[in-house]
A and B are shown apart, each in its own frame.
Chain A
Amino acid sequence: MSDIQLHRIAHARSGDKGNRLNIALICYRPEFFDIVAQQVTTERVAELFSSRKVGRVQRYELPKLWAFNFVLDHVLDGGVNASLGLDGHGKTLSFKLLTLPVSLPASLLQSLLTDQS
């Protein structure tokens, strides 16, 4: 097993509703779905966003799209109307999720390297 950034195996997009953020996390390939399901848990996501005082984190699974939808409460400092931050919508935060390390079995890691050569 080797640690890589989630960014290598998945892409993501943020959306906001008030003080709630959703991050769609989409695996580049179906074989990554189980790895993300096992490793990108709501606990780990809550930990990643802990400095921002995140509340409840929910995870929805969409296997037909090789995707997950993460919903993070209270993570936007009040939301776009109230936040003092530069990115009140939290649009950049999809890429914060993609910094999360995940472990990949050697076989899958090898195929990842072949892809990119």
Chain B
Amino acid sequence: MPATTVHIGAGAGFAGDRPGAAVAVAEALAVASRQGIPAFLIFEMLAERTLALAQLDRRRDPATGYSANLTGLVQPVLKLCLQHNIRIIGNFGAANPQAAAHHLRVLAQDLGFRDAKIAVVTGDDLSARLTPADLTARETDGALLKDRKDIVAANAYLGAQPIAQALEAGADIVVTGRVADPALVLGPLAHAFGWSWDDWDRLAAGTLVGHLLECGPQVSGGYFADPGCKDAPDLDRLGYPIAEVQADGKAVITKPAGSGGVVDLRTVKEQVLYEIHDPAAYLTPDVILDLTEVELAQQGPDRVRVTGARGHARPATLKATVCFEAGWFAEAEISYAGPNATARARLAIDIIRKRMAVLQPDLSIRADIIGVVSSFGDSAGHDLAAATTEADDLRVRFATRHTDADVAKLLLAEVEALYVAGPAGGGGVRRHLVPQLASASCLIERDLVSPSVELAP
């Protein structure tokens, strides 16, 4: 029989999220589960490039390629979840969901759960199905992929259906690679409520709940505090969000009792619009979500009711992200402090620009003075040139990128040489050189993508 209410929590909003944060959420979900309310815990751990980095790991070692943080984030709640029938859904499978499932199997066995059902969703990886030329023909902006030989990963964003299918097969844990982030929530909701895959308003409501939970605590007071203007208490023990969802799609966003953070109209509004383009048409694999009639109401402390999501028929195509190698990124910093620090920092930039103009005239170099203009500034340096701010404890930062590591390293050597050949009192040089991945977006016909669900051995 379909459920009337479902509780679903978020244990992570990105790959580097806070270890142990999911424990309080799982404890609250366990209470619900004991009352017979279906309970789910999601882990969203794949940013755009995370999957390509995982693919590189897998090339080096075929047993890897899933989220490196799997143990750190899931292990602390695994026993509680398996004991209390809190079903886990996570995209921590990244480039190797089977290996992640194997790892989870070992973790579960170590805790004494020999027969945990672990399902694996695959089919997002397009690299065997589509050539670079196929992908180029489907690119949405520009032709970044034309003639590329260095594509690292090509993955379509799968929807919620294979996740729901895995849950119908009885999975305690569903491991996915690339799926649309809200699908991690829509899958369990559609499964528990028996929603039909063309019930656009309900799919939209579930997608909105997913959108609100997918970044973890960003809806419950994280990434929000602006002291004195809008405060969120006790962020050191921030409560990750829980949604209490009804069969008609109406939901309340809340968080574990006694945890830090806050759920109010302001925190929820900020997350409703997070990473949105046209609020009337947020495209997902399952539905087009219209946010324009969404209404929020504070129901009590840390409880916000969310209604009014509307849906339209799902798009004909699926989005895919294609990552390719993009050379080397070099970054170096040096500090200047005390009297006349700003002038010395500016002199350092002038020296480096003149040196590099001779050594590698075509290389574009960015320079920032952290403390004067950096985050807000432009790469051409107009904002920094115009700035009149004087400060006395500054850090000068240089960055460049090139396909050849040796060329990028020229900048690093020049910045280090400022120690003896630059302005007075420069100190604390730090330098690093890292390989870069870039990405392009494609739209892929649905019939070229076949999601598959299987129970892991």
Which residues of A are in contact with B by a Cβ distance under 8 Å?
7, 11-13, 15-18, 20, 22, 24, 26, 28, 51-53, 60, 62, 64-67, 69, 71, 77, 80-87, 92-93, 96
Instruction: Please determine whether B400 and A24 come into contact, CB atoms closer than 8 angstroms.
Output: no
B37 to chain A, nearest CB (A): 29
A21 to chain B, nearest CB (A): 10
Taking CB atoms, residues of chain A closer than 8 Å to B400 are: 84
9 A-B residue pairs with Cβ-Cβ distance under 8 Å, sorted by A, are: A13-B270, A13-B273, A22-B277, A26-B269, A64-B295, A65-B273, A67-B269, A69-B276, A85-B366
18 new A-B pairs (CB below 8 Å) besides A62-B294, A71-B277? A11-B226, A13-B270, A22-B273, A24-B272, A51-B382, A52-B378, A60-B280, A62-B291, A65-B273, A80-B48, A83-B379, A84-B365, A84-B399, A85-B368, A85-B399, A86-B368, A86-B397, A96-B376
Q: Kindly identify which residue among B275, B326, B376 contacts A22, using a CB–CB cutoff of 8 Å.
A: B275
- Give the CA-CA distance A24 to B365 in the complex, in Å: 31
Query: Which of B199-207, B253-261, B437-445 binds A?
Result: B437-445
- Give the CA-CA distance A18 to B439 in the complex, in Å: 8
Please report the total number of B residues contacting A with Cβ < 8 Å: 51
- Which of B37-90 touch A at CB < 8 Å? 48-49
Chain A contact residues: helix, strand, loop or mixed: mixed
B408 to chain A, nearest CB (A): 11
Taking CB atoms, residues of chain A closer than 8 Å to B275 are: 15-17, 22
- Which of B270-303 touch A at CB < 8 Å? 270-280, 291-296
B389 CB-CB contact with A under 8 Å: no
Instruction: Please determine whether B379 and A24 come into contact, CB atoms closer than 8 angstroms.
Output: no
Taking CB atoms, residues of chain A closer than 8 Å to B271 are: 13
A51 to chain B, nearest CB (A): 4
Instruction: Please determine whether B276 and A15 come into contact, CB atoms closer than 8 angstroms.
Output: yes
Instruction: Please determine whether B379 and A22 come into contact, CB atoms closer than 8 angstroms.
Output: no
- Give the CA-CA distance A104 to B271 in the complex, in Å: 27
Instruction: Please determine whether B269 and A24 come into contact, CB atoms closer than 8 angstroms.
Output: yes
Q: Kindly identify which residue among A53, A84, A93 contacts B376, using a CB–CB cutoff of 8 Å.
A: A93
Taking CB atoms, residues of chain A closer than 8 Å to B308 are: 64
Task: Pick from A20, A69, A96 the residue with the most CB of B within 10 Å.
Answer: A69
Nearest A-chain residue to B381, judged by Cβ? A51
How many inter-chain residue pairs (CB < 8 Å) link A and B? Answer: 112
Instruction: Please determine whether A84 and B375 come into contact, CB atoms closer than 8 angstroms.
Output: no
Instruction: Please determine whether B376 and A92 come into contact, CB atoms closer than 8 angstroms.
Output: yes
Taking CB atoms, residues of chain A closer than 8 Å to B438 are: 81-82
A11-B266 contact given A17-B277, A22-B277, A51-B382, CB 8 Å threshold: yes
B401 CB-CB contact with A under 8 Å: yes
B197 CB-CB contact with A under 8 Å: no
A84-B273 contact given A11-B229, A51-B378, A65-B294, CB 8 Å threshold: no
Instruction: Please determine whether A15 and B274 come into contact, CB atoms closer than 8 angstroms.
Output: yes
Taking CB atoms, residues of chain B closer than 8 Å to A7 are: 229
Instruction: Please determine whether A11 and B379 come into contact, CB atoms closer than 8 angstroms.
Output: no
Taking CB atoms, residues of chain B closer than 8 Å to A15 are: 273-276
Taking CB atoms, residues of chain B closer than 8 Å to A13 are: 223, 270-271, 273-274
B320 to chain A, nearest CB (A): 13
- 0/1 per residue, B354-377, Cβ < 8 Å to A? 000000000011101010001111
Instruction: Please determine whether B273 and A62 come into contact, CB atoms closer than 8 angstroms.
Output: yes
B414 to chain A, nearest CB (A): 16
- Give the CA-CA distance A93 to B377 in the complex, in Å: 10
Nearest B-chain residue to A23, judged by Cβ? B273
- 0/1 per residue, B379-415, Cβ < 8 Å to A? 1101100000000000001011100000000000000
Taking CB atoms, residues of chain B closer than 8 Å to A28 are: 266
- Give the CA-CA distance A66 to B272 in the complex, in Å: 12
Instruction: Please determine whether A84 and B401 come into contact, CB atoms closer than 8 angstroms.
Output: yes
- Give the CA-CA distance A24 to B295 in the complex, in Å: 16
A3 to chain B, nearest CB (A): 18
A51-B399 contact given A18-B141, A67-B273, CB 8 Å threshold: no
Q: Kindly identify which residue among A62, A82, A86, A93 contacts B326, using a CB–CB cutoff of 8 Å.
A: A82
B213 to chain A, nearest CB (A): 16
Task: Pick from A22, A92, A96 the residue with the most CB of B within 10 Å.
Answer: A22
Task: Pick from A26, A71, A92 the residue with the most CB of B within 10 Å.
Answer: A26
Instruction: Please determine whether B277 and A26 come into contact, CB atoms closer than 8 angstroms.
Output: no
A81-B377 contact given A13-B274, A15-B275, A69-B279, CB 8 Å threshold: no
Q: Kindly identify which residue among A18, A20, A60, A84 contacts B366, using a CB–CB cutoff of 8 Å.
A: A84
B436 CB-CB contact with A under 8 Å: yes
- Give the CA-CA distance A11 to B382 in the complex, in Å: 27
B114 CB-CB contact with A under 8 Å: no
Task: Pick from A7, A52, A62 the residue with the most CB of B within 10 Å.
Answer: A62
B129 CB-CB contact with A under 8 Å: no
- Give the CA-CA distance A64 to B274 in the complex, in Å: 16
What 8 pairs across the A-B complex have the smallest Cβ distances?
A15-B275, A24-B273, A84-B366, A81-B438, A92-B375, A13-B270, A84-B399, A51-B378
Taking CB atoms, residues of chain B closer than 8 Å to A64 are: 292-295, 308
